[in-house]
Structure 1
Amino acid sequence: MITISVTGMTCGCCVNKVRDKVGALPGVTGVDVDLADGKVTIAGITPERTALADAVAAAGFHLAD
C-alpha cells in the first residue's frame, strides 16, 4: 500500500474522478481518497509513478512533488 499527494481536488466529484482513474490501473485493488488532506492511498500492486501521474492527470489533477 502506498499514499500519494494529489493537488487540485476540491469536491466529491474530484474524489470520484481520481478514484475511478487510479482504480482502473492494472493491479490496483483499492483506492481511498482523502479530500481534506489531498491524499490517495492505493492498495494492491503499486503502479509505476508515470502510470499514477498519467491516471491522475486524466482525472484533471496533478501529483504533488
Structure 2
Amino acid sequence: MPYNVDVWVEDRDDGNFTIYIDRGLITERGAAALQSVLSSTVVGWKRLDDHLVRRALRAVTG
C-alpha cells in the first residue's frame, strides 16, 4: 500500500473510485459485506469540494 497505510481510496476523474484494504484487516466475508453496504448506499453519495476535503484531511492527519 502507498505510504504504509491500511486503507487507500483512489478517486478517479471519471467519477469512479476504488477502495484498497490491507488483506490483514478484512476477511473475504467482510469484504463481501462491505461491498454490499457500499453498493446499497451509492445513490446518496456526493463528491465534496476540495476545500472541505482538505480541511477534513488536515484535521485527521495533523
TM-score (norm 2): 0.33
* Higher RCO (Cα < 8 Å, 6 or more apart): 1
Larger relative strand fraction: 1
Larger radius of gyration: 2
TM-score w.r.t. the length of structure 1 is: 0.32
Higher helix residue share: 2
